[in-house]
Chains A and B, each alone.
Chain A
Amino acid sequence: MSKYLRPDDLRRLARYDIAAQLVVEGYLSGHRRSRQRGSSIEFHDYRAYSPGDDPALVDWRLFARTDRPYLRTFELETTLECHVLVDSSASMGFGGGGQETKLEYASFFAACLAWLVVRDHDRVSMHLFDEKIRRHFAPGSTRQHLHELTSALEANAPGKPTNLPEALRRVHPMLTRRGALVVLSDFYAPAEQVFAALNPFLHRGFRIHLFHVLSPDELELPDAGLVRFEDMEDASRVTVHTAALRDDYRESMRQHVQSYRRLAASRRVDYALARTDGSFFTLFDRLSA
């Protein structure tokens, strides 16, 4: 059993059905039958080619005859594809106050989410990133695939500095099918840059869920007197008297979170603040709502 798949957690997870939140209209694949056109063994019809369509589906014989590209559509079995991006940068290694680190928190959630998806015979992919994609797992639905994912999570450690927009840009071409995109990060990048990087996904019809993982200490800036803080990503230091900054810091953090929330609301992106001092099951509550 994986570190991140605890029996108690799995028993609790059994009650959750998150498919409704993760199902994406358009390219649906999986055991949910759908009349939506897609690729399968049963030919359904031809349709005109649109930019972004898979060129492999182009009927070249018809193209030779008509000199126009057309796709063969098939009646597909709907299969959920869930793509999980886990921020594994240095900042995710922060725990604060002896609590589990943000990466552990995210890993627990990612593992359980993967288990749920595989349980329903849907496909899940996982991408571990910092300033670039460190590890990439193509979508799969087998237990072996789940094991590989959880093993990768267990072996994962906070790495280099974050570059979430860049990681999203690199992940985008890897995701051949649209589905649900779940991003687990501390989102220290400016919200505008991140959402600019998410635009291609939105354009392709991904259903995006952003989970902003932060520790209570990051949110509140505990009163520790005169402290020299060292940035976990670039090792820079700054000396502050926390009491003098605390209230202003909290306000700045609130505004930072609000900026993500505002942009998410405007783009129909699901956004939630995930405090590491709380249970990750609240996120599943949100997904199954």
Chain B
Amino acid sequence: MNLVLGSPQLLAGLALVAGPVLVHLLARARPAVRAYPSLQLIRQVMRRTLRVRRPHDWLLLAVRTLAIAALAAAFIRPVYFGATPLAAAGEKKTVVLVIDRSASMAATEGAQSRFGTAAARAIQLLESSGGSTAANVVWIDAQPAGIFAEPGPNRAYLVDVLNRAAAVPQPGAAESALRLAFEQLRTAEGAKEVFVLSDFQATAWKNVPLTPPPGVRLVPMPVGASDLPNMALTDFRAQPAAPVTGQPMQLLCRVRNFSPEPRRAVVFFEAGEARQQRAVDVPAWSDAEAAVSLPAGAPGDLPLRASLADDAFPGDDAAHSLAHVRESVRLAVAGASTSPSIEPLTALGGAIPWLSARRIEPADALTAAADILFVSDWDGQNAPAFRDLAAKGTAVILAPKNGTPAVALADALGVPATPAAPALTAEAAPAKPWKVALASESHPTVALFRTGEFGNPFAGTFRQRLRFSAPPAPATVLAGFPDGVPGLVAGPRLADAKNAAPLFVWNLPLAADASTWTQEPVFVAFFGELCRTSLPAAAGVPGETLPGTPLRFVPGPQVDPHDLRLLAADGSAVEITPPSLPGGPFLSPPAVPGSWRWMARDTVVQHAWCNFPDGESDLRRLDPGTLTGATAESVASRAAMAAERDGWPLWPWLALAGAVLLWTESGLAAFGKKSPVPTAPAVS
């Protein structure tokens, strides 16, 4: 045990313990003197009864002696240092303070944030470390780094940086920060100490080992006294991400409740000038989705914002996104100019206001800029390329021709092929033309016609078609001939591709001599619905930046770099760094949650936004008892930290013990007086 006496010169005061012994022995000094004939019987009685009462007297003596000893010991101020104390202030040592400044450290508890508390404690550690200390600070954030490259004596600068620092809305790479700290101590001299000041957020720290290398003392110092309740917005998006002007657009976001009680949240949605709000009830430790529907406005990039009323942790109460409103849906019809499908499809551009249709050469099918590609008279070539095109967001409609291999069909749809399946064969209706009926009611493309309110989307008659077998699941036959020949087949939508568009196989001839369908009014309605539902639902608009990484912009040939500016949402300019190499990107400082605009003169050339890191919203901390390492202590307890370096002062405990013993002594003394004495009969 390491025990140091703060006032050893008062050690002689321990002689005071003799006091209670003397008092005890002299307790009966100077009572009244009375003559008595003979003390013979009195002495007999005393010899007999004192044996009985002695235990009480001994206990009283022991309590008095201990009380005086405790009070006397308090004056000599012993200090206990524990089994393996930290290096004292005067010892040569190297100290690295690993300070968490990730987003969760911005949470406010009481008068200041967790980071503020950690910084104050770090300053205290630096100022009390002694003149022989080399120190450094390593930040825990998205890109851990030290203030200095290695520990040094300039602690004043570290204190200055700590006074000006703040938490950053970034995730924290704790393990990397610790590795960096240990690396900095590898060649250090003297005692080596690492102090980790963090809220030890459970989501960030649960798998991080706190095992220092040999010779390094690691002291975790949890910050924050409680698991703060919090609500956060995540996964904010528009559906569709690229609507057509005037098209209803749904704004959705997920509201997460990190608290032990269910809560009601009001989410405010902003899309340009349009605003709406939605209330949502979120169960404890769960999430719920809030959604509003807004019409897509004028064509162009539409910044979107969702927000909550501020709580104790406001950093994650806002989310940003962007919708790219298109003027129209671009339909490209790939086929020869003489193809009979060209005219009815290009005529749709005039019938549907938001649809622009044009013919392109078949060779340009894979490269044309289009939202929907209709490949007329498809011969089965490039099936994987068309499937890939659909996966990237362009809806593809393949209208095969006579002789197209069935394998190509299966390949395009992404379904297993029947090896011996014959090629598609053109055939004409024998006598009576065919009628095509709806074969699926759940597919989004035909869902509008499920109830029959809008009639049969495939009204009319068909005299020609291609014969082939219905492809296996997961392909879906949306429309079919009475004898089972598929008329319209939809391929499976790629579940792991947010921006994927559907791919169809089209077996509904559009030529006037092949069908009367295009003459039916419902043809326009059906094709409009097909185009609408074929647009990608998820946000695929570029521009989102992860927090902690800089915003990037590579100006194209039409942008003069000298005119380039970066503006924040409030219009203030943000300093940008020009590219170090020609053709390289312009960079901003590490991004924080919010939205920005890259401007070339007065024109917005690109929107950018950054959302709060998801993992930093759950403010629950690891149980301090699970922290491995030397000592888990609350930063709020300065005495605990001071004890590690300066020892535990024992005098308050000794004084308290002395007071308790004195109180016990008075009770014992009173008890002794009140003890009932057995009565004896009178002498006669």
Among A225, A229, A244, A248, which residue has its beta carbon within 8 angstroms of that of B36? Answer: A229
Binary CB contact string for chain A from 205 to 237 against chain B (1 if under 8 A, 0 otherwise): 000000000010011110011111111110011
Residues of A within 8 A of B44 (CB): 252
Is the CB–CB distance between B38 and A249 below 8 Å?
Answer: no
Min CB–CB distance A90 → chain B (angstroms) = 8
Bound together, the chains give a CA A236 to CA B33 distance in angstroms of 11
CB-nearest residue of chain B relative to A90? Answer: B37
* Selected interface stretch from B176-184, B358-366, B674-682: B674-682
Min CB–CB distance A137 → chain B (angstroms) = 26
Cβ of B22 within 8 Å of any chain A Cβ, yes or no, is no
Given A226-B28, A249-B45, also A94-B684 (CB < 8 A): no
List A residues at the B interface (Cβ < 8 Å): 90-92, 94, 102, 186, 188, 215, 218-221, 224-233, 236-241, 243-254, 256-257, 273
CB-nearest residue of chain A relative to B678? Answer: A247
Is the CB–CB distance between B36 and A249 below 8 Å?
Answer: no
Interface residues on B, range: 20 to 34
Among A186, A220, A250, which residue has its beta carbon within 8 angstroms of that of B37? Answer: A186
Cβ of B40 within 8 Å of any chain A Cβ, yes or no, is yes
Is the CB–CB distance between A273 and B680 below 8 Å?
Answer: no
Is the CB–CB distance between B684 and A273 below 8 Å?
Answer: yes
6 contacts between A and B (CB under 8 A): A221-B42, A226-B28, A229-B39, A238-B39, A247-B680, A253-B41
CB-nearest residue of chain A relative to B40? Answer: A188
Among A227, A245, A257, which residue has its beta carbon within 8 angstroms of that of B31? Answer: A227
Binary CB contact string for chain B from 31 to 75 against chain A (1 if under 8 A, 0 otherwise): 111111111111111101100010000000000000000000000
Bound together, the chains give a CA A253 to CA B41 distance in angstroms of 7
Cβ of B111 within 8 Å of any chain A Cβ, yes or no, is no
Bound together, the chains give a CA A241 to CA B41 distance in angstroms of 15
Min CB–CB distance B209 → chain A (angstroms) = 69
Min CB–CB distance B36 → chain A (angstroms) = 4
Bound together, the chains give a CA A256 to CA B46 distance in angstroms of 16
Residues of A within 8 A of B42 (CB): 221, 229, 238, 240, 245, 249
Cβ of B683 within 8 Å of any chain A Cβ, yes or no, is yes
Min CB–CB distance A97 → chain B (angstroms) = 11
Among B39, B46, B680, which residue has its beta carbon within 8 angstroms of that of A251? Answer: B680
Is the CB–CB distance between B41 and A228 below 8 Å?
Answer: no
Residues of A within 8 A of B40 (CB): 188
Among A188, A243, A252, A257, which residue has its beta carbon within 8 angstroms of that of B45? Answer: A252
Among A186, A227, A247, which residue has its beta carbon within 8 angstroms of that of B32? Answer: A227
Given A188-B40, A248-B680, A250-B680, also A228-B33 (CB < 8 A): yes
Binary CB contact string for chain B from 662 to 684 against chain A (1 if under 8 A, 0 otherwise): 00000000000000011111111
Min CB–CB distance B158 → chain A (angstroms) = 70
List B residues at the A interface (Cβ < 8 Å): 28-46, 48-49, 53, 677-684
Is the CB–CB distance between A253 and B683 below 8 Å?
Answer: yes
New A-B pairs, 7, CB < 8 Å, besides A220-B683, A228-B30, A249-B41 = A229-B34, A231-B36, A237-B33, A239-B29, A244-B53, A247-B679, A250-B680
Residues of B within 8 A of A250 (CB): 680-683
Given A232-B37, A233-B38, also A245-B680 (CB < 8 A): no
Bound together, the chains give a CA A240 to CA B34 distance in angstroms of 11
Is the CB–CB distance between B37 and A188 below 8 Å?
Answer: yes
CB-nearest residue of chain A relative to B684? Answer: A273
Given A247-B679, A249-B41, also A228-B49 (CB < 8 A): no
Q: Which of B30, B35, B37, B39 has the most CB of A within 10 A?
A: B37
Residues of B within 8 A of A245 (CB): 42, 45-46, 49
Is the CB–CB distance between A241 and B28 below 8 Å?
Answer: yes
Residues of B within 8 A of A247 (CB): 677-680
Given A226-B28, A247-B679, A250-B681, also A94-B39 (CB < 8 A): no
Is the CB–CB distance between B680 and A254 below 8 Å?
Answer: yes
Is the CB–CB distance between A248 and B48 below 8 Å?
Answer: yes
Residues of B within 8 A of A233 (CB): 37-38
Bound together, the chains give a CA A273 to CA B37 distance in angstroms of 17
Min CB–CB distance B675 → chain A (angstroms) = 9
Residues of B within 8 A of A249 (CB): 41-42, 45
Min CB–CB distance A9 → chain B (angstroms) = 25
